[in-house]
């Protein structure tokens, strides 16, 4: 095996992986392992770290503008290969739509990375889709996602790579939770967006729920503010003045960015 194919499925948590494993043909040789994501378990941070092999602090020192979006995976991966003196030709393909998965074909590159975004996007849209809004059972959500994955023909795509003598890896950048408990905070306009974490000098907790970090660089985070707050358990941040309004809006809502096992521990499958 000289070539490697990597599937990065956004928001592919451990129990989702276990369901998916049941659908994989027994003829596949599969190894399973796990590793930790970074904090916050947000695509903006964790995806960039996955491609660069660096913590957000290191990325920020070199490329402060890269922490504004996920548009620089190619540059980060290219930098990673150069620094580690790895001379490989590669392709990075982003799949944002369900129907595009079946169109993935091996190109013969030594490294082919396929980023599957539509699961994360589907979960974020769940609250806006009337037929899905009332689904609160975790098992039902996991089974629904599994059906979507299987129907996308991703297993057929994996088989294409195996027939071309690729080793296939399947992993993720973070998991997710269903929000259950509002955590009241206060702060000004400097606070960043996010239900599970906040940057901002004016951030204050109104209870003992959540964790406040002041030494951001010790956690591999850029010091873009003096304070960083992260929700614990299945909590989510709401402003004290609008707690009841946002409790109704975000309870049972899909979210990530925190430090639960479901968000932080990432599965990785090796298939050959």
Q: Hey, what are 191's tokens?
A: 């606070």
pLDDT tens-place string over residues 98-147: 999 999 999 999 999 999 998 888 777 765 665 566 677 889 889 999 99
Kindly report each contact of residues 215-219 with a partner whose C-beta sits within 8 Å and lies 24 or more positions away, as own/partner: 216/57, 217/57, 219/39
Mark whether 124 and 224 lie in a shared domain: no
Average pLDDT rounded to a whole number, residues 244-272: 92
Mark whether 77 and 56 lie in a shared domain: yes
Query: What is the domain count for the chain?
Result: 2
Query: Are the CB atoms for 106 and 160 separated by under 8 Å?
Result: yes
The range of the structural domain enclosing residue 224 comes to 180-251
Mark whether 131 and 15 lie in a shared domain: yes
Q: What is the CA radius of gyration of the chain?
A: 19
Mark whether 26 and 159 lie in a shared domain: yes
pLDDT tens-place string over residues 3-52: 999 999 999 999 999 999 999 999 999 999 999 999 999 999 999 999 99
CA–CA gap between residue 116 and residue 94 (Å, rounded): 6
Mark whether 8 and 122 lie in a shared domain: yes
pTM: 0.94
Mark whether 160 and 190 lie in a shared domain: no
């Amino acid at each position: 095996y000289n070539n490697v194919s990597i599937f990065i499925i956004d928001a592919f948590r451990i129990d989702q992986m276990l369901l998916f494993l049941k659908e994989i043909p027994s003829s596949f040789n599969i190894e399973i392992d796990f590793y930790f994501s970074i904090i916050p378990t947000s695509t903006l941070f964790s995806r960039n770290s996955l491609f660069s092999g660096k913590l957000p602090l290191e990325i920020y020192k070199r490329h402060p503008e890269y922490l504004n979006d996920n548009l620089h995976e190619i540059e980060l991966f290219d930098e990673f290969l150069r620094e580690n003196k790895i001379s490989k030709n590669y392709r990075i393909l982003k799949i944002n739509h369900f129907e595009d998965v079946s169109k993935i074909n091996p190109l013969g590159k030594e490294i082919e990375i396929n980023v599957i975004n539509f699961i994360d996007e589907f979960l974020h849209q769940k609250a806006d889709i009337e037929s899905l809004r009332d689904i609160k059972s975790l098992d039902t959500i996991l089974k629904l996602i599994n059906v979507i994955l299987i129907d996308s023909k991703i297993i057929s795509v994996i088989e294409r790579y195996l027939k071309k003598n690729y080793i296939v890896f399947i992993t993720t950048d973070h998991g997710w939770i269903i929000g259950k408990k509002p955590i009241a905070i206060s702060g000004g306009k400097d606070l960043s967006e996010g239900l599970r974490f906040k940057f901002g000098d004016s951030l204050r907790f109104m209870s003992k729920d959540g964790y406040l970090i002041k030494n951001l660089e010790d956690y591999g985070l850029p010091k873009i503010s003096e304070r960083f707050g992260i929700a614990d358990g299945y909590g989510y941040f709401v402003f004290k003045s609008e707690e009841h309004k946002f409790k109704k809006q975000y309870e049972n809502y899909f979210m990530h960015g925190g430090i639960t096992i479901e968000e932080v521990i990432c599965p990785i499958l090796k298939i050959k």
